[in-house]
Structure 1
Amino acid sequence: MGHTLKGAFKLGIGMALVAASIGTSQAADDKIKVGFMLPYTGTYASLGNAITNGFKQFVAEQGGKLGGREIEYYTVDDESDPAKATENANKLVKRDKVDLLVGTVHSGVALAMAKVARENKTLLIVPNAGADEITGPLCAPNVFRSSFSAWQPSYAMGQLMAQKGLKKVVTLTWKYSFGQQSVDGFKEAFEKSGGKVVKDMTLPFPNVEFQPFLTEIAALKPDAVFVFFAGAGAAKFVKDYAAAGLNRSVPLYGPGFLTDGNLDAMGEAGKGLQTTLHYADGLDNKKDPAFRLGYAKTYKMQPDVYAVQGYDAAQLYNAGLKAAGGDAGKQAEVIKGMESARIDSPRGAFTLSKAHNPVQDIYLREVQGGQNKVISVAAKGLADPARGCRM
């Protein structure tokens, strides 16, 4: 009896070791699990859908596969709610055991996702949230971004406004992390080039009572105003700014979120506004027209910057999987492949910094005929400084 048990025990161990060795290298017919944790309801729902559409478009272009492997999708609506973020991320990581986590839009939610990804060593690609911390103090070998840092478009605008000879500027933003980081990036470049911010103004998010600030701007008579606003709040600010007559005497600037996805709501008030971003209408590269045509055919609408970021998240993961021979279980090889990739993006080709943030061109755009038309390259191959990253 004892010998039989010993033999069974040894056999059990042997079988377990065989099973473990099979488990570490995925069987070729296993599907790769991709988990989307994005906003599908609420203010940012259209952004979540655009990111998902972009990702799936690239997969469709590869015959429904990435790295030669079929994809299985899992989705969680993060509702842009940081309080639910850890629980939602754990659903995909621990319950569904996804190979790749993709998300999200809201920086507060993304910071919680990055923490879960780090703790569980799950691969994460952030297709929007620009919080500087993600590729700064929270950087990790398994955390990547296919979008931008808050610093990038705003720093480029600071350089540009100084080059225009503007000396005295007022800043205004919602008082929260992304707004603050945008203003900080702008100030760093603008003041380094000899400009001066005469007043920093903030209001609580998502407050849109702009009148007292417009009155103060009129009294201060700065050379220009730099703002961070987005969505419906941005459209209201631009309209209020024009209604106060300020657009005729004090030019308004900001990162591209000011005018992305809300030009219809702004109407005439947005005409001629200049912003900086890593994507624009009318880019002169081979990839963008084909991407736009494919997207319009599939989804019956024009793509935006968010769709591009989703598309490039899929491209980035594809590069990693190819390097690992299609085996998502070989995470070190997947990561190495992603780190060394040159992504042929609709925004223009980009590589990744050591902190895994895109090193990319930032464009100056101007609102013309209902589009954010490219005017010039404001900053060539701009790399985020990744302050606090210890990787």
Structure 2
Amino acid sequence: MTTRRLVLTRSAAVIGAASSGLLLPQLVQAQSNKVRVGFMLPYTGTFAQLGVAIENGFRMALNEQGGKLGGREVEFFKVDDESNPAKGIENAQRLVQRDRVDVLVGTVHSGVQMGIHRVARDTGVLSLIPNAGVHAATRALCAPNVFRTSFTNSQPTLALGKAMVERGHKKAVWITWNYAAGEEAYEGFEQSYTAAGGTIVKKLGLPFPNVEFQALLTEIAALKPDAVACFFAGGGAAKFLRDFHAAGLHKTIQLYGSGFLTEGVLEAAGEAANGVLTTMHYSDSLDTPRNKKFRLEYAKAFKMQPDVYAVQGYDTGLLLVQGANKVKGDLSNKKDLYAALEGAVIDSPRGKWTMSKAHNPVQDIYLRKVDNKENKVIGIAQKAVADPATGCKMA
């Protein structure tokens, strides 16, 4: 812990000096032999816990290497992105131009991610995405220096349709917020469900972040589908689960969702979440030696339990470690570095995964069922799910 505090203190001192315009030439020179890693994550507001979990996981992966990347010491720089898309470009430029980071790690919010993405494409800085699932980053706007370690918004739902039809649920209603993440999740669901022989009776939506579900639940009751599939997350997901249950729909209609429906909200949802089925690339309850070891070590290091965001941060660190080791710490050797990242096999707590040509994980998606406030894995919904990478042409 002493070493970690020292690193944080030194980072804070450098950041403080830089923001005051006092970053002296000799200080820059003294730091030049270190790999400069910039975190652009939410540290305040709704997504603050997610940002902390991602950073914790990333640091844990590096700590397993003695805190080094390819044998080089690491200097950390941090910017709170505030989950504010309007500040995305400005904040990313601070890390790249002011702090001269070699690697930019971020972020959670897809709108903010697009700001980072623009700076990454303009400057060529290595950009590692530990969460945001926005399609464009690894589709039409894919880039050689941008790698994602999490998911695309449609990846969990690409595995959902077949699981639903196999359980006899052939007529479904889809419901989500009318915003980009919801639309992208629907893309995966529509493709997988219709391909498996299912029929989408109706697609319902409401403005983000509206949580007045009653009128739509009444419409669902009248439609009498076999199942409802959805994309909601956070507090809105907990409210939807409670309202769906309170309306009595759970008695006759099976509820499914992208895994974010039940991720981190089971306490708030209570018994209303019981029996809900979701597809996701990770589960706390994944019964493997690799996951158990990770969860134990994370809990020891940070005095809290890890979640999917911690795993994604950890895997981001594992990916960078592989690349840096391959080029012996010379991150300026971009050709060999990118080749190493593209060819990486990540031995993750979620299960081993590889990197697609568009720089997105090819990974197993699990089918999970909520039982007593736990997302329990009941099988693999689909193995080696890859995003279609529509429109990606690497320069």
Q: Unpaired segments of 5 or more residues in structure 2?
A: 1-28
Aligned to 2:331: 328
Aligned to 1:209: 212
**SS, match of residue 69 in structure 1:** coil
Contact 1:151 1:185 in 2 (8 A): yes
Aligned to 1:117: 120
Contact 1:28 1:69 in 2 (8 A): no
Deviation at 1:32, TM superposition (A): 0.4
**Percent of aligned positions with the same letter in both sequences?**
58
Contact 2:284 2:307 in 1 (8 A): no
Contact 2:156 2:281 in 1 (8 A): yes
Aligned to 1:198: 201
Post-superposition Cα deviations, 1:268-294, rounded to whole Å, max 9, x if no partner, equal 111121100000133233321111001
Contact 2:353 2:363 in 1 (8 A): yes
**SS, match of residue 65 in structure 1:** coil
CA RMSD of aligned residues (A): 1.4
**Among residues 235, 243, 247, which one is paired with 1:244 in the alignment?**
247
| Separation (CA, whole Å) in 2 of partners of 1:184 and 1:337 | 31
Aligned to 1:33: 36
1:337-356 aligned within 5 A: 337-356=340-359
**In terms of mean alpha carbon deviation, does 76-85 or 362-371 score higher?**
362-371
Letter aligned with residue 286 of structure 2: L
Q: Unpaired segments of 5 or more residues in structure 1?
A: 1-25
**Among residues 375, 384, 387, which one is paired with 1:381 in the alignment?**
384
Residue 75 of structure 1 pairs with residue 84 of structure 2 = no
Aligned to 1:262: 265
**In terms of mean alpha carbon deviation, does 235-244 or 27-36 score higher?**
27-36
| Separation (CA, whole Å) in 1 of partners of 2:30 and 2:157 | 46
Aligned to 2:138: 135
Contact 1:33 1:99 in 2 (8 A): yes
Residue 372 of structure 1 pairs with residue 375 of structure 2 = yes
Q: Give 1 or 2 for the bigger CA radius of gyration.
A: 1
Deviation at 1:28, TM superposition (A): 11
1:1-391 aligned within 5 A: 30-391=33-394
Deviation at 1:314, TM superposition (A): 0.6
**In terms of mean alpha carbon deviation, does 267-276 or 163-172 score higher?**
163-172
**SS, match of residue 73 in structure 2:** strand
| Separation (CA, whole Å) in 2 of partners of 1:389 and 1:51 | 27
| Separation (CA, whole Å) in 1 of partners of 2:192 and 2:345 | 27
Q: TM-score, normalised by structure 1?
A: 0.92
Aligned to 1:18: none
| Separation (CA, whole Å) in 1 of partners of 2:66 and 2:107 | 25
**SS, match of residue 202 in structure 1:** strand
**In terms of mean alpha carbon deviation, does 156-165 or 89-98 score higher?**
156-165
Deviation at 1:258, TM superposition (A): 0.4
Contact 2:271 2:372 in 1 (8 A): no
Contact 2:103 2:128 in 1 (8 A): yes
Q: TM-score, normalised by structure 2?
A: 0.91
Deviation at 1:27, TM superposition (A): 10
| Separation (CA, whole Å) in 1 of partners of 2:30 and 2:40 | 26
| Separation (CA, whole Å) in 2 of partners of 1:28 and 1:265 | 46
| Separation (CA, whole Å) in 1 of partners of 2:138 and 2:378 | 29
| Separation (CA, whole Å) in 1 of partners of 2:316 and 2:260 | 20
Post-superposition Cα deviations, 1:190-213, rounded to whole Å, max 9, x if no partner, equal 112221111111111110000000
Aligned to 1:21: none
Contact 1:322 1:337 in 2 (8 A): no
